[in-house]
Amino acid sequence: MRIESCRLFKMVSMALLSRQKLVLILLAVYWPALFILAHIPIPQFVRQAGVSDKTLHFLAYLILVFLLWVTISRDKKVDWRRAIVWWVLLSVLGYGVVDELLQGCVGRSCDVRDFAADLAGVLAGLILLSFFTFWPAVLIVTGATIFGLTNVSRVNLADVLPVTNILLHLFGYAIFTLLWIQFIDLFLSPKPPKLRWLIIALALPTGFLSAVKLFSAIAGKSSGLRDVILAAVGIVVVVSTFYLTTLFRRLSGNSGAIGK
């Protein structure tokens, strides 16, 4: 019993380390990319789309503080009594101040409202991580990002940014579904290829897609059928791949057992 517990502990530890390395790589790519995007002139097509830059600032710093905290703390929740939390808060906000001040060098305005949106994103991320560990939190952050980017512009993204719109719906919902399946595997009981697993795996992504599109409709934004199809394709491809792969492995295992 003790040997099995040690093996399980080692497996969990290795998984945490692998995930931390992946998050570190994402942070190393994301932070410089965020700096570059914040210090180039705003493209004309972004202006034409009527993009809410406050929403972008909120999401950008929500993602930044999430990646930074997970890199530093692994799977620990935010404990406001620990000094590291305040160091993270001050570091990201300090970067936000410098970021705003430097934007004047490239013809972009230094706006206190942008910094307020940055602050809101940082606080939202830390508060979220106060209640949730990595997997629930990453699902919420990914969902918030998809929701925000879908509704960030005053016009239909498909009309002004068609490629971005395609990538958002196809890969955004595929990534969200992939994260949800990992959550099911870790915290919920059903395993593929059971029908119950298939229903649960499809339920949250399709429900989330419906909620996003319903909000867009209420907000008066047209949501084309192509966007829904692209998102549905991303969801179905990920779920069916997991389901069929597990089914094939089980059938292969049974065939091997019969052959012996």
The 10s digit of each residue's pLDDT in 205-256 is: 999 999 998 988 887 776 678 899 999 999 999 999 999 998 888 877 665 5
Residues 60 and 115: beta-carbon distance below 8 Å: no
Q: What is the pLDDT of residue 224?
A: 76
In the three-class reduction of DSSP (H, G, I as helix; E, B as strand; rest coil), residue 153 is classed as: strand
Which of 201, 183, 187, 186 lies closest to 244, judged by CA? 201
State the average pLDDT over residues 48-71. 87
Among 6-10, 49-53, 155-159, 190-194, whose mean pLDDT is lowest? 6-10
Q: How far is CA 248 from CA 5, 124, 240, 254, in A?
A: 30, 42, 12, 10
Domain boundaries, the chain: 15-131, 133-260
- Cα distances from 218 to residues 8, 57, 79, 212, in angstroms, run 48, 24, 38, 10
- Supply the pTM of this predicted model: 0.86
pLDDT digits (tens, 9 = 90+) for 114-169: 899 999 999 999 999 999 999 999 999 999 999 988 887 766 665 667 788 889 99
**84-97 mean pLDDT:** 94
250: tokens are 């089980």
DSSP conformational letter for 40: S
